[in-house]
Amino acid sequence: MQRALELGWPAPRGHVIDTDLGQSGQESQRPGLQELVAAVSLGRVGLIVADEARRLARHNTDWDTLLAMATVVGTLIAETEGV
């Protein structure tokens, strides 16, 4: 959340999804990722902030789905390397 604030995102519009923390990449159920993809697909997300964006989705299929959806609706993805 701190990085989003540094980028000028208003605090009341931020939402942290951390339900998948500590789960193995082998886990098939990723409720946090599912919540994120759903919110992005509905156009409710303007910016996704992550330390490492590729860590949001542990499998290429999940990453490709998130990236494609973000592209379609205009959601930005930011990480330590840039936006």
* pTM of structure: 0.74
Question: pLDDT value at position 10?
Answer: 83
Question: pLDDT value at position 74?
Answer: 96
User: Where do the structural domains in the chain lie, given as residue ranges?
Assistant: 1-9+46-83
Between 42 and 20, name the one with better pLDDT: 42
CA 28 to chain centroid, in Å, comes to 17
How many Cα atoms sit within 13 Å of 63 on the Cβ side? Answer: 10
Question: pLDDT value at position 78?
Answer: 84
The pLDDT tens digits for 22-70 are 555 555 677 888 888 999 999 999 888 887 776 777 777 888 888 999 9
Question: pLDDT value at position 44?
Answer: 93
Q: Return d(Cα 21, Cα 42) in angstroms, integer.
A: 24
